[in-house]
Structure 1
Amino acid sequence: MLNHGPYRTLGASLCCLLIFATAFPGSDPAWRYLPLGMAHILLGPDHLLFLLALALLVPERRRLLLAVTAFALAHSLTLALTALGVVPIPEPPVEAGIALSIVILALELRRSQQGHLGLVVSSPWLAAFAFGLVHGLGFGAALGDLGLPHGAEGRALVAFNLGVEGGQLAFVLAVLGAWQPLRKARLPRWTAALPAYGMGALGLYWLGQRLLVMVA
């Protein structure tokens, strides 16, 4: 049985903030960025696929927690730098880098199933931090497109980031909850490779599509 007491507390707090941000028209406009951040990650299949691959690669709860925390810290940093215009990076290379991160994790997942342990499996927090820097640039570009409210830039940035973290947490917990019965199910051995091949194929498709945008 998974013990997610601290995560449930954090999740409940984020839900309260989400309700507050959407229910009160006269509230601080910066808090309206909380549901926007949550929607951005939950409606972003590439970010979700990366988290899914990470959860499959690192099934141990403690190591997964460290990896997800490192990912969150890294993308919070580059999200802020990009949204505030400190690090102006064109969006197409960032989107291609996000797709590439999925391909790399899919390859690592398949290699680990074959008994070859790479960097992501041996040091998941380090790999998650490095990839988180890239994903944060994508979050920051999205927030930059939305724009920040004048005089409340800092609060809006924090609210958007909280929304991203809340959506990320909800998705990881959902994956963990669904994965437990699947691991116990008696499935044919060949099905074990399907997630890696499926994620790899989709990541390659996105990568090719986004590279074409860069050279067009």
Structure 2
Amino acid sequence: MKWTAILVAVLAPLLALSAPRVAHAHEVRPAYLDLVEERPGEFSVLWKTPMQGEMRLALAPVFSGPVDLLAPVATKVTGDAAVQTWRIRADGLRGMSLRIVGLEGTLTDVLARITFADSSTWVVRLTPREPEAVVPARPSGWSVASTYLALGVEHILTGVDHLLFVLALLLLTSGPWRLAKTVTAFTLAHSITLALATLGIVRVPPKPVEAVIALSIVFVASEILRNRREKAGWSERMPWLVAFTFGLLHGFGFAGALSDVGLPDGQIPVALLFFNVGVEAGQLLFIGGVLVMAAGLQRLRIVWPRWSVLATPYAIGSLAMFWMIQRLAAF
């Protein structure tokens, strides 16, 4: 698609500009709060916050009503997060407001989950703009679906590496039928590994996965360059095969993001399904935006220099190579 190459020649530098703001594509990690009612009015609390170097992110959950501490706070560091556990008594938790103190000054979201003794579950996503929410008297099952749907959309739209891979696939693909097959193959592949990894059927270390995801972008960028200079190779004739193969790896990356926030007990299928739906919705939004912008630029009939066709894959491949080296160095 010549018009896609024209569009990406403009869009890729914009994506590249976002790279200096992130050490890697998923630097902003969420915090996680989990309360489980073990006895009437008594809750076990798990509070997981990201680490910044050797310091824990300064966040604290606070309820608006009376809460008594039943057991002291125990803290341990696991990987790049601090995990704190304690026990509280809160007889009137339903109807209280939950606020994350300090959230306003961060870029982090908080996924909060409360499981009551009657097996009802309330899940909410708190953000710097909305750091407070009221615990409802009767939690709705839709809260889990809507929260994980939003998490999926946000993850794909803020995952610059995943977007660059999709962008590279668009450059590699010609014709609407091939595009549909390529997008479908990518969706099917990462849905498979997302489910397998999230359910614990397959376990893959996250750091190698992130490095290979960057390598997948380098590979597709190099294939675009080769196809621009020579005759079309198998990757351009069968882009859906490339999309499916590397889509399996990207699914493990999505699973890593989902594992950071966890899944609600008893509602794992719903949370997993809607997170994946959110990822697909965000991906389609991105592709749709690219196609609309491409059509608009094509109408302008701008004469672009010949080198612009090669500038885009070079920019994509260079940024991905930087990520790969950075992630390998972090092993």
TM-score scaled by length of structure 2: 0.56
The match for 1:43 is 158
| Residue identity opposite 1:208 in structure 2 | I
Percentage of identical aligned residues: 49
Q: Of the candidates 144, 147, 150, which is equivalent to residue 30 of structure 1?
A: 144
The match for 1:11 is none
The match for 2:313 is 196
Please give the alpha-carbon distance, in whole angstroms, between the structure 2 residues aligned to 1:136 and 1:47.
10
Please give the alpha-carbon distance, in whole angstroms, between the structure 1 residues aligned to 2:247 and 2:177.
18
The match for 1:3 is none
User: Superposition pairs for residues 91-170 of structure 1, below 5 Å?
Assistant: 91-170=206-285
- DSSP-derived class of the 2:189 partner: helix
Instruction: Mark the runs of 5 or more structure 1 residues left unpaired by the alignment.
Output: 1-20
The match for 1:74 is 189
| Residue identity opposite 1:141 in structure 2 | G
Mean Cα displacement is larger for which, 167-176 or 177-186? 177-186
| Residue identity opposite 2:163 in structure 1 | L
The match for 1:61 is 176
Please give the alpha-carbon distance, in whole angstroms, between the structure 1 residues aligned to 2:230 and 2:297.
21
The match for 2:92 is none
Matched, 1:206 2:320: no
The match for 1:88 is 203
Please give the alpha-carbon distance, in whole angstroms, between the structure 1 residues aligned to 2:297 and 2:165.
19
Q: Of the candidates 167, 181, 198, which is equivalent to residue 52 of structure 1?
A: 167
- DSSP-derived class of the 2:307 partner: helix
What does the per-residue CA deviation read over 1:106-153, in whole Å, with 9 as the maximum and x for residues that have no partner? 101111111332232111111110010000000011111110001000
- DSSP-derived class of the 2:266 partner: coil
| Residue identity opposite 1:64 in structure 2 | L
Please give the alpha-carbon distance, in whole angstroms, between the structure 1 residues aligned to 2:163 and 2:250.
11
| Residue identity opposite 1:63 in structure 2 | R
Q: CA deviation at 1:90?
A: 0.7
The match for 1:9 is none
Q: How many equivalent residue pairs?
A: 194
Which has more strand, going by share of residues?
Answer: 2
Could you say which structure has the greater relative contact order, defined with CA pairs below 8 angstroms and 6 or more residues apart?
1
| Residue identity opposite 1:122 in structure 2 | R
Which has more helix, going by share of residues?
Answer: 1
| Residue identity opposite 1:149 in structure 2 | P
Work out whether residues 98 and 135 of structure 1, in 8 Å CA contact, stay in contact via their aligned partners in 2. Answer: yes
Please give the alpha-carbon distance, in whole angstroms, between the structure 2 residues aligned to 1:45 and 1:129.
19
Rg larger for: 2
TM-score scaled by length of structure 1: 0.85
Please give the alpha-carbon distance, in whole angstroms, between the structure 1 residues aligned to 2:237 and 2:153.
30
Which portions of structure 1, spanning 4 or more consecutive aligned residues, are displaced by more than 3 angstroms?
A: 181-184
Q: CA deviation at 1:186?
A: 0.8
